[in-house]
Every structure is written in C-alpha cells, then in structure tokens.
Amino acid sequence: MVEEVIEELKPKLRLKLDSKDKELLQLMQDAFPLESHPYAVLANKLGLTEDEVFAKVKRLYAEGVIRKLRTILDAQKLGTCSSTLIAMKVPEDKMKHVVGIVNEYMSVTHNYRREHDYNLWFTVTACGDKNLRATVEEIKRRAGIPDSDVLDLPTTRVFKIDVRFKFTDTDTDTDTDTGEEGVLQVADSG
C-alpha cells in the first residue's frame, strides 16, 4: 500500500523542465555536434547564446538529469565482451547481503529488484581476457544461493539495444494518467 502511494507520488516529484531544456536534451542525446564549439552550434539551433546553453547543461548535470556525455561503442564490432543475465530467488532477510556482494563486481553493470519469485536480476559482462563463467560461479558461491534458485540466461540473439527517449513532443509536465499518449515515446532505432 505504501509502495503504491510512493509510486503514485513519484511523477509529481519530477523536475520541471522548460521547452528549451527538453529540446537541448533531445539534441544532446541524438546528435552532439562534433565541432570545435559544440555548445555554440547547439545554441544556434535553440536561439540561445553559447553561455546560456552551457549554463543549462551544467544545471542539468547538477540536477542529475544528464548522467553522462559519452560515446556508446558497438560491442559486436569490437567483439570483446560476453554477457549473461542472472536471476536469483533471494530471501528477504538475505537481500541486503546478496546485493552487497553482487554490486562489488565491476562486471555487474545492472542490478534490479523485480516483482517476481526470482526477485533479483543482474547482468554480468566480461570483457577481454576476463572469464564470464568463473565470475558467475564466484558470485553464486559467495551469495550462497543454491543453483535450484538461480537462472543463468545468456543472450543468444540481440535484436535491439537503444536507450534513447523522446523529450520534446510528449508533455512530461502532465501528472495524471494521460492514456495512450502517456505511453513513452522513444526515438527510432538508428
């Protein structure tokens, strides 16, 4: 019940972003200019000055809206990493302990509690000469979860990885259920 209330309140706690903020996020997500003065190029598109855009960007970083500006590399082209998805049934009184162990590993990039009998789901990615199998076995052993309560689900085919969102033509200021239009829009896969 408490969780439901928190879930309902969450959208109301979100930051207010103006339309220029959203346009800026969209541009910086999809196509950061490869130019000497990238913020001046963005400023030109937004009708702002370079200083204004740079100040906005610093604010969006400080507020935690922007996690990072970086290059996303094509794992298949580099061909150096292998990964798997592990699910575990973790008793509630052991959850904190197990999460602590799992999160220690650099190879674990994502770790979530999910609403299912298998309540802990995390990805293990091993790159270069790191051994994926050995890492998975070590985590399982240290976590003390029996094999009968563990799923080890390596990927056999990748159809899509594209974590981009659409900020500009959805009304993110709307707090109430917005019906079908409220469904998230994510930019097309490129």
Distances in Å between the Cα of 96 and the Cα atoms of 78, 93, 109, 128, 160 are 35, 7, 18, 30, 32
Q: Which two tokens stand for residue 188?
A: 């097309």
Candidate list 48, 102, 136, 139; residue touching another protein; CB under 8 A: 102
**Interface with another protein, residue 156, by CB under 8 A:** yes
User: Which of the residues 56 through 75 are near another protein (CB under 8 A)?
Assistant: 57-58, 61, 63-75
User: Which of the residues 10 through 49 are near another protein (CB under 8 A)?
Assistant: 10-11, 14-15, 17, 25, 28-32, 34-40
**CA 115-177-66 angle, 5° bins:** 70
Q: How far is the CB of 143 from another protein (least distance, A)?
A: 13
Candidate list 91, 144, 146, 154; residue touching another protein; CB under 8 A: 154
Q: How far is the CB of 70 from another protein (least distance, A)?
A: 5
Burial of 8 from C-beta contacts in 10 A (0-12 / 13-18 / 19+): exposed
